[in-house]
Amino acid sequence: MSHRDLRAYLENLERRGELVRISEPVQAEDALAAAANYLPNAVLFERVGDSGFGGLYHLFTTRDRCALALGVSDLEQLHVRLARLIDLNIPRGTTALVNRMGEYMDVFKMVAFPPPAPKPAPVQTVVHQQRIDLAILPFTSLDGTQIVWRQGGRSAADNSAQFVDSGRVKVIDSHTLALHVALEIGDADRVQVAVVLGGSPAAIWSAGAPLPGGIDRYFLAGWLRGRSMTFTRAVSQPLDVLADAECVIEGVIEGCERAADGSYTMQVTAITHRSASILPVIVPDLGDRQWMLKATERLFLPLLRLVINEVRDICLPTGGTEVVVVSARVRRRGDAQRIIYGLWGLIPDCRKVIVVDEHTDVHDADGVIARVMAKIEPERDIVYGMHPTGERVGIDGTGKN
C-alpha cells in the first residue's frame, strides 16, 4: 500500500494499532525521552511547546514499519521489484512480455506526466515571507531533513537541474539556519536551497538513502509508492518542492559564509507549512537509521548485480556504506580482488570490503568473521587502496582452490 503523504501513512498506522497519539502539550526537550517509553510504536505529539506544530517519532523504527512506509510487505520485496524492472532478459511468452511492457509504461508515465499540484499546495497553506521568525518551529535542530538545492539560479523561471540530499539543520537565530550537508560550495558560489520536512514516507527515506550517484531520489520515491511525486514552485526561490510536505524553509547559501562549527549558513527567505503541521523526527539511536539503511541495502543489490554479476548478496553492517560485506560466486583466482575494486568504484564512501563465498550468510556477523579468519592469508588475501579520508582495505574471505 502506498501513501500519498505523511498523514495518510499515520492513518494506516492508526488502523494497525501502531500509532500512539499524545494530545497534551509537551516541550521539545522532553519529547524524545517521552517517545522512548512507547517503543516500538510510532508516537505523535500533537502539540510540541507553544508552536502549533506536532512531532512524529519512530517513523522507521522497526523492519515491518519501514517496509510499510515504502509500500511493500517486507523489505526483501524491494530488490525483487527492482530486479524485475531492470532485468535485461526478454521474457518468454506473450503474457510475460505484456506484463513487462506494462511495468515500463507505468515508469514512463511517472516521468512524462507528473500530476499537477493543487492550488494552493497543501504545504503553502500558511506563508511567512515578510516577517520571518524560525522561533515558530518547535525544534532547534532536526536530523534527516530533505534538502533541495540549485546552484546559480537567479530567477523564478530558472529550470536548471536541482538536487536532493539529506542533512541536519540547526537554528542559529530568527532567520538563519546551519546546514550539515555534503555539498561542495565554493566561496564565490550562491546556492538556492529549501529544507523540506515531511511528505510521503518514501520521499523522506529516498532523500537520506546512501544511493549511487545519478539516481533521482524523488523519482525513486515515486516508483516506490507507485505514482509520481507532486511538486509546487517555492514562493521565494526558483525551486520545486514537495506539494504534500508538512513544512518548507526556503533560503540561500552564500559560499563564503560559515557557522562557528564550519557548517553552511542559510539565510531564510520564506517559511511555508500546513495548518497543524506534523514534523517527522528521525532518531538514529532508536532504530530509524538501521532500517532505513536496510531498505537501501535491499534496493542496491539488483543494481550491483548489473555491474558485478557474481555478487549474490550484500550487507551494510555499520549504519552506512563505509563497510560492505558481499557474498559472491568466485571461480578464478583474482575474482574477489576484482569485486573489491569494483565496489570501491561504485560506492564512493566505501572504505572496507569483505568478500565471502556465495553460500555464506552475509547478515550473520559471527559467521562472516569465522569464515574470514579460517580462510585468509594476510599477504595473499588483503589488498589496499587510497581514499580521500584515508586508506581502503579489501579482504578476500573466499575459499581457495
Could you read off the pLDDT of 248-262 as tens digits, one per residue?
999 999 877 888 888
Share of the chain above pLDDT 90, in %: 45
Residue 79 grid cell:
530488490
Region for residue 384 given its phi and psi (left: phi exceeds 0; alpha: psi -120 to 50; beta: otherwise): beta
What gap in Å lies between CA 84 and CA 213, rounded to an integer?
21
Of residues 262, 263, 239, 255, the one with CA closest to residue 190:
255
pLDDT band at 95; cut points 50, 70, 90:
low
User: What would the pLDDT profile of 173-189 be if each residue is shown by its tens digit?
Assistant: 999 999 998 777 777 68
Residue 358 has pLDDT above 60, yes or no: yes
Q: What pLDDT digit, counting tens, does each position of 224-283 carry?
A: 888 888 999 999 999 999 999 999 999 999 877 888 888 999 999 999 999 999 999 987
Across residues 333-338, what is the average pLDDT? 91
Please say if the pLDDT value at position 156 is more than 50: no
Q: What is the pLDDT of residues 197-220, one digit of tens each?
A: 999 999 999 998 877 666 788 888
Amino acid identity of residue 22, one-letter, is: I
- 152 pLDDT band, cuts 50/70/90, is low
| Element counts in the chain: helices (H) and strands (E) | 11, 18
User: Is the distance from CB of 141 to CB of 177 less than 8 angstroms?
Assistant: no
Neighbours of 141 (CB within 10 A): 13
Distance CA 375, CA 159 (A): 55
Dig out the grid coordinates for 275 from the structure: 495548518
Instruction: Give the CATH superfamily of 122-275.
Output: Electron Transport, Fmn-binding Protein; Chain A (2.30.110.10)
Q: Where are the domains of the chain?
A: 6-112, 122-275, 308-396
Give residue for cell 510487505: 73
Residue range 308-396 forms a domain whose CATH class is: alpha beta
